[in-house]
Amino acid sequence: MANDLSVFLKQLILRPREISAAIPSSRRLARMMADAVPDITGSIAELGPGTGRMTQALLDKGARPQNLSLFEINAVFARHLTIKFPEVSVHNQSAQDMTAAGLNNLSAVVSGLPFLSIPLPIQREIIRASFDVLAPNGVYIQFTYGRKLPIHPEIIEQHSLSAKRFGLVWGNLPPAQVLVFSR
């Protein structure tokens, strides 16, 4: 199996807009994202897992492989994840397809998607799909590099979401904040 960095760099060169990150997220950021999941043993969807750094952090924290569903639109990353995490369900589909995959009552949706660069109509679909599959007390976890909320205010209002800053990771390049959205 090719190593994560070589897989990432090759896809970054071939599909820079799809990848939308100069380097993979740090282990510190991945750990903080996993720490933000309130019920680590519940069912979890991960959006945009890339090469699986956050997936590994979720598993290290205690997530059960059979309770993880990964949604990755990049076919190379999806194949890499299937080999790296054989017990985890990997969907080579967009995040909007979570409901079609039959998911429901999830404790968390953990997103590595570059939300600020995603067009508003697609943001709307992703958030709708996420909250359609979450349990009533489930959370949507997203990181962002700026101080601005990654989800458009109109979508936050439309879904009656509240945002809580879980933490800031200075050891990520660039520094990132982790936000937890709930209803």
pLDDT digits (tens, 9 = 90+) for 23-55: 667 999 999 999 999 999 999 999 999 889 999
Side-chain half-sphere exposure of 85, counting CA atoms within 13 A = 28
Query: How far is residue 68's CA from residue 45's CA, in Å, rounded to a whole number?
Result: 6
pLDDT over 90 percentage in the chain: 77
Q: Specify the pLDDT at position 8.
A: 63
What residue ranges do the domains of the chain occupy? 4-182
Structure tokens given for 80: 């890499």
Q: Taking Cα atoms as reference points, which of 180, 181, 182 lies closest to residue 34? A: 180
Q: Give me the residue label for tokens 């994560």.
A: 4
pLDDT of 20 > 70? The answer is: no
Q: Which pLDDT band holds residue 173 (cuts at 50, 70, 90)?
A: confident
Q: What is the CATH number of domain 4-182?
A: 3.40.50.150
0.95 surpassed by pTM: no
Cis upstream peptide for 175 (omega within 30°): no
Q: Is 111 helix (H, G, I), strand (E, B) or coil?
A: strand
Q: How far apart are CA 181 and CA 168, in angstroms?
A: 15
